[in-house]
Amino acid sequence: MMFRKIIIIYFFLFSSLQSNEASVELIEIYKNLRCLICQGQSIADSNSDFASTIKLVVQDQVKEGKTQKEIYDFLVSKYGEWIVYQPALSKSNFLLWFLPYLVLVLGGLIIFFITRKSKHNKD
């Protein structure tokens, strides 16, 4: 009798842990997807009709054992790069990727020249 109880408790504990892992992965995917008909909301944040449909599709694909990349690739092929918050590097968006580094280098140069100039002035 005791053994049966332990088995039942173990089963419920294990299944709830497993479902938590799955829901964490689902939420991670939803957060990386943009709700196309909402203003600045992710699929995770939105309760719109579109978001609920995409959630169902993602749930199905996770159940089928597809990886996150496969799910994103599928949705990009259907809706374009705009649906993912982190688009792949391409000709049209290279500035988005490299602008922060460019600004960092230029900012560094400006600071360097200003400090050098003020040093010269002091001397």
Instruction: List residues binding another protein (CB under 8 A).
Output: 36-37, 49-50, 53-54, 56-57, 60, 75, 77-80, 82, 106, 109-110, 113-114, 117
Toward another protein, which CB reaches closer, 18 or 47?
47
Toward another protein, which CB reaches closer, 14 or 108?
108
Toward another protein, which CB reaches closer, 13 or 109?
109
Toward another protein, which CB reaches closer, 31 or 78?
78
| Angle in degrees, CA 39, 45, 51, rounded to 5 | 80
The backbone region for 84, taken as left when phi is positive above 0, alpha when psi lies in -120 to 50, beta otherwise, is beta
Which tokens hold the place of 42?
A: 């992710």
- Spatial distance between the Cα atoms of 30 and 74, rounded to a whole number of angstroms: 14
Smallest distance, Å, CB 110 to another protein? 6
Long-range contacts, 7-15 (Cβ 8 Å, 24+): none
Smallest distance, Å, CB 11 to another protein? 31
Smallest distance, Å, CB 95 to another protein? 8
Smallest distance, Å, CB 3 to another protein? 43
